[in-house]
Structure 1
Amino acid sequence: MSLRTAPRPAPDPDTDAHAEARRRHPVDTYRPVHRMLLFGIQHVLVMAATPISSVFLVSATLHLTPALTANLLSAAFVLSGIGSLLQSLGPWGFGARLPFVMLPGGAPLVLFLSIADEHGLRTATGAVILTAVFCFVVLPLFSRLLKFFPTLVIGTMIVIVGVNLVKVGALLITGRPGTSGFGEPHALLLGLATVGFTVVAYALLRGTLRQLAVMLGLLAGTALAALLGRVHLDGGSGGLLHAPALMPFGTPQFNLVAALPLLVYSLASMAEATGQTVVNSEAVGLRLDARRDAPRTIRGDAVVSLAGGFFGLPLMVTSGENIGIVKLTGVRSRFVTVAAGLVLIAIGFLAPVARLVNAIPAPVVGGTALVVFGVITVLGVQLLGRAGLDDHTDTFIVAVALAAGLLPILLPGVYGQLPPTPRILLESGVAVGAFTAALLHALFHRTPWVSRPAKASAPPAAEPIAEPQT
């Protein structure tokens, strides 16, 4: 799908012609409530490991009390649910009206922890709030710069995102290199068996059950884990309901210098949100104008992050793995992720449900993630194929951008000797790859003094051999 610039202002999504086109598209169709709920639960099961692991990482790194940890976990689920509703429904220009699910971001989480470790948790939450406001301020300028993010750049970025996510899924199975449990055989068995269960379900089942193959594979993997004694239900303490508390670390403190790494990263986050909007529209088969619709996604991310900052959370972002589920299952209705958002909110308020979701072993979630994240990589490859890589210059641009973006992903710690701020920025492979591709594309395609080789020409067709006269 190309990032096209309309010759006249794009119509508002709520105008008659555009609204009529949307009403005819499967992304805006309702399904029976019980089916939407099942598909929504499938989305939740795939993404639930991220808010859980994010909160536990914050808790372990910053030595939080169990009460604070429970409060953050509740807030993470509730805000993820509210964000999913906002992105899926798109009220008042907030949200893309696409099947998106939101969660606490990965790279922003690292920056949040770095700021909290150096300046304290109150400054870290203040940095999140400042960054959300910053996104609103710079969004009009960023929208004008979207012409520098054509399909070639977006496709490169999505491939890097997919590879990075596959690595994340693999680490859920194996554990981190150097730790005592790295590559433990039972964990490998559970991860690979979950992949196998998913493949078998997709191959043998039909109709709705086939569309639920990801969830069925995850449930089968969890059942195998229970047989192996790897599922541990935490009885926990407390009652049935648990509501997140406002400002759990106290009143946020605002420090522009401390927030600078997160502010700079937000530019890359907006570029990634643009790419996810494009690839999500590809997954549902809806033709969108990125210059009109990507800002809706970014505004949704920003307003949920703003609220999350007051509940002690890092930046909230749209979830790439759920785009993979949409593509894999073919269920394109955005009301499925509306159902997922309602389920997430319920999990956030119902303490026993959160503990039940938390009982799913990490290797099982990792096995599911490998399949779903692999689909994200394929979507990026499809975008690159449409960008026309028969042009030698475009091939060169993609090659350099992939090398720059994949380096910190495939070789962690490569920038470890650099000062903190440039190290944090360079270690974001998605940001490095996206900006490298955008810069090279602008250099080769928008500057007249740079020579460009011609497109690769197809070899001449062989002339037909004349048949002998009889």
Structure 2
Amino acid sequence: MNGIVDETVDPTDQILPARSLALFGLQHVLVMAAAPITAVFLVSKALDLSDALAVSLISATFLVCGLGTILQSFGPGGFGARLPFIMVPGGAPIAIFLAIAQQTDIQTAVGAVILTAVFYFIALPVFRRLLKFFPPIVVGTMLLLVSVNLVKIYGGTITGKAGTPGFADPVNIGLALLTIALTVIFARVFTGMLQRLSVMLGLVAGAIIAFALGHMDVSGVLAGPVVAVPHLFPFGMPTFNLVAAIPLIVFSIISMAEATGQTIATVEIVGKPGDARAIVPSTIRGDALVSLVGGLFGTSLIITSGENIGIVRATNVKSRYVTAVAGAILVLIALFAPVGRLAASLPGPVVCGTAVVVFSIIGVIGIDLLRRVDLREHGPMVTLAAALSMGLLPILVPGVYSQFPHWAQMVLGNGLAAGTITAVIVNAAFLFGGLHEAGSSSHAEATGAEG
């Protein structure tokens, strides 16, 4: 094509010049890079993983995200949408993964990821029938609980454990607050693509300041092998516990609904001809396969990201070859060991400050969904109140169900699961009892909600 855009070709099939492919692909990578770094940092700190295991997990996460992005871009054999999608570890799956690991062990959490990936395939033929149980009031509540839970976890990582010598160290808290402030400043001052990179820029600026203050040690970044090869089953063989997997399985239905909205929105933005809904199963099969592979490498669910929809809209670059190149860059990052060691060396307060912003945004998305529901009506008001009661209780009062049977702890003690399941049950009781119609709209309203 010699760099000339052929308007007779499907916009997603346009092949740009190599330089443009590389630059636009790198742009996608920069926007999503904070997600895998913060996700692995949280898991490694919360579960007290060794530095070597944390570096391996960062490498594995980037690798699976890259392979998944390539899969969604090319869509071989009906696995992948053949659309400009980027794949990331979702915020909600990370929170649920961590809760399962803390309630049981990490092998069970990995087993839950694999069971959930298999459930995707089983539920795909009938998932449309399940959508009526996950209207905006349910999804909005879940996202709000995700935000509260993760901000609490990351905030605790910033302060450290009460009673320890370094608890609430003003320097650590100051670095976290400074990172948050810089992120907000960049979002306000910059426009266009730099504005979309404000989270990543805040992370980088915070790390530079921490380094200047002597709170970031990069001496080991260039030590060790140059090539990183992630290992299968880094935590040992998974343990399969269906009860423990229930929270992730519940989330997977919401994820499928989000994939539906994201696929339809992306098809409209890129102007791809044909029926958008016919592409949805391919998107979901791609999510399922990539999450299954991620489970084998010890990650949580890896799902399509709604963030890149905004990038496609802003740049008007619709080619799936751009995201395929982004996937290739992610794979190269995964295999280049110093990058993993650099990510692992980032100061905890800086990473956590970035994460607090990212996951607070998830809460804002949840509030926006709840705003679409008339909470003055009795049914929606009781649904939200009941869901927040059951969801916030185990988040804010850890151990509240510690004397309950173990199987009950795995569901009730997981605030995201308890709150979401409560919202589904109470909403259905009012809805099918004919007492209110709120929240019965299509789940497509939840387009762009984070998983």
TM-score normalised by structure 1 residue count: 0.73
Residue 459 of structure 1: aligned partner: none
Shift of 1:245: 3.4
Counterpart pick for 2:148 among 156, 163, 176 = 163
Residue 4 of structure 1: aligned partner: none
Greater mean alpha carbon deviation, residues 272-281 or residues 428-437:
272-281
Alpha-carbon distance in structure 2 between the residues aligned to 1:271 and 1:181:
41
8 Å contact kept, 1:404–1:436? yes
Shift of 1:243: 1.5
Counterpart pick for 1:44 among 33, 43, 51 = 33
Alpha-carbon distance in structure 2 between the residues aligned to 1:196 and 1:282:
35
1:145 counterpart letter in structure 2: L
Residue 300 of structure 1: aligned partner: 286
Alignment of 1:1-150 (within 5 A): 33-55=22-44, 60=48, 71-87=56-72, 92-95=77-80, 97=83, 99-103=85-89, 105-112=94-101, 116=105, 128-150=113-135
CA distance 1:221–1:72, change in 2 (3 Å) = closer
Shift of 1:91: 5.1
8 Å contact kept, 1:128–1:262? no
2:194 counterpart letter in structure 1: L
8 Å contact kept, 2:116–2:252? no
Counterpart pick for 1:212 among 191, 197, 205 = 197
CA distance 1:74–1:218, change in 2 (3 Å) = closer
Question: Does 1:242 find its partner at 2:228?
Answer: yes
Alpha-carbon distance in structure 2 between the residues aligned to 1:206 and 1:232:
33
Shift of 1:45: 2.8
Question: Does 1:201 find its partner at 2:183?
Answer: no
Q: Please list the CA deviations of residues 300-335 of structure 1 after superposition, one character each: whole Å capped at 9, or x if unmatched.
A: 343223223433x1542438xx65687799758786
2:401 counterpart letter in structure 1: Y
**Rg: which structure is higher?**
1
8 Å contact kept, 1:40–1:343? yes
Shift of 1:436: 1.5
CA distance 1:140–1:179, change in 2 (3 Å) = farther
Question: Does 1:395 find its partner at 2:381?
Answer: yes
CA distance 1:168–1:114, change in 2 (3 Å) = closer
8 Å contact kept, 1:201–1:210? yes
Shift of 1:46: 4.1
2:400 counterpart letter in structure 1: V
CA distance 1:48–1:152, change in 2 (3 Å) = same
Alpha-carbon distance in structure 2 between the residues aligned to 1:100 and 1:356:
23
Residue 405 of structure 1: aligned partner: 391
CA distance 1:83–1:110, change in 2 (3 Å) = farther
Shift of 1:203: 2.2
Shift of 1:68: 6.0
Alignment of 1:249-264 (within 5 A): 252=237, 258-264=240-246
Paired residues in the alignment total: 415
Q: Percent identity?
A: 38
Alpha-carbon distance in structure 2 between the residues aligned to 1:327 and 1:394:
31
- Other structure's SS at 2:241 match: helix
Question: Does 1:183 find its partner at 2:183?
Answer: no
Alpha-carbon distance in structure 1 between the residues aligned to 2:329 and 2:186:
24
CA distance 1:45–1:124, change in 2 (3 Å) = closer
Greater mean alpha carbon deviation, residues 362-371 or residues 162-171:
162-171
> Any stretches of 5+ residues in structure 1 without a counterpart?
1-19, 455-470
2:393 counterpart letter in structure 1: L
Q: Please list the CA deviations of residues 127-155 of structure 1 after superposition, one character each: whole Å capped at 9, or x if unmatched.
A: 65444334422443444221221222222
CA distance 1:286–1:213, change in 2 (3 Å) = same
- Other structure's SS at 1:414 match: coil
Shift of 1:186: 0.7
8 Å contact kept, 2:101–2:109? yes
Alignment of 1:283-294 (within 5 A): none
Q: Please list the CA deviations of residues 29-72 of structure 1 after superposition, one character each: whole Å capped at 9, or x if unmatched.
A: 987642441342231134312124435655x46xx7x7666544
> Any stretches of 5+ residues in structure 2 without a counterpart?
1-6, 270-274, 439-451
1:40 counterpart letter in structure 2: V
2:177 counterpart letter in structure 1: L
Shift of 1:340: 5.0
TM-score normalised by structure 2 residue count: 0.76
- Other structure's SS at 2:33 match: helix
8 Å contact kept, 1:194–1:364? yes
Question: Does 1:226 find its partner at 2:211?
Answer: yes
Residue 382 of structure 1: aligned partner: 368
Q: Please list the CA deviations of residues 77-134 of structure 1 after superposition, one character each: whole Å capped at 9, or x if unmatched.
A: 31232234445665555456575532373322443576557xxx5x876665444334
Shift of 1:291: 8.5
